[in-house]
Amino acid sequence: MTWMIWLEQALLIIGLLVVLVSFHRYWRRTGDWKAIVFFWQKRMILERSEFLINRAGISIMIVGVLVRFIYHLMFAGG
């Protein structure tokens, strides 16, 4: 089941790239790089499209984590 390992890694990388696209769009719009570096401090005010892109990327990464969890439950856990 190596395809599940590839799927997991692909989803994590794609999700990260999608999140980075939303950060890039925010940076191009505002020029506020500190908000991106300190993203956990609620300084970023994303537009609707940036927000949707960001959440899509996070959702893709969550699916990647779920694939990893399912893989380990079914095949590696015994």
Range of the domain at 50: 13-31+43-78
Q: Residue type for 77, please?
A: G
Asked if the structure places residue 68 within a domain, the reply is yes
Instruction: Name the burial class of residue 56, with classes exposed (0-12), middle (13-18) and buried (19+) by CB atoms within 10 angstroms of its CB.
Output: middle
Q: Measuring CA to CA, which residue among 56, 52, 53, 32 is closest to residue 44?
A: 32
Asked if the structure places residue 1 within a domain, the reply is no
pLDDT tens-digit series, residues 11-66: 999 999 999 999 999 999 999 999 888 877 888 889 999 999 999 999 999 999 99
Number of domains into which the chain is organized: 1
Asked if the structure places residue 7 within a domain, the reply is no
Asked if the structure places residue 67 within a domain, the reply is yes
1 has pLDDT over 70: no
Asked if the structure places residue 50 within a domain, the reply is yes
Q: Which residue has the higher pLDDT, 49 or 78?
A: 49
Asked if the structure places residue 25 within a domain, the reply is yes
72 has pLDDT over 60: yes
Asked if the structure places residue 58 within a domain, the reply is yes
Start-to-end CA distance of the chain, whole Å, equals 14
What was the pLDDT predicted at 78? Answer: 53
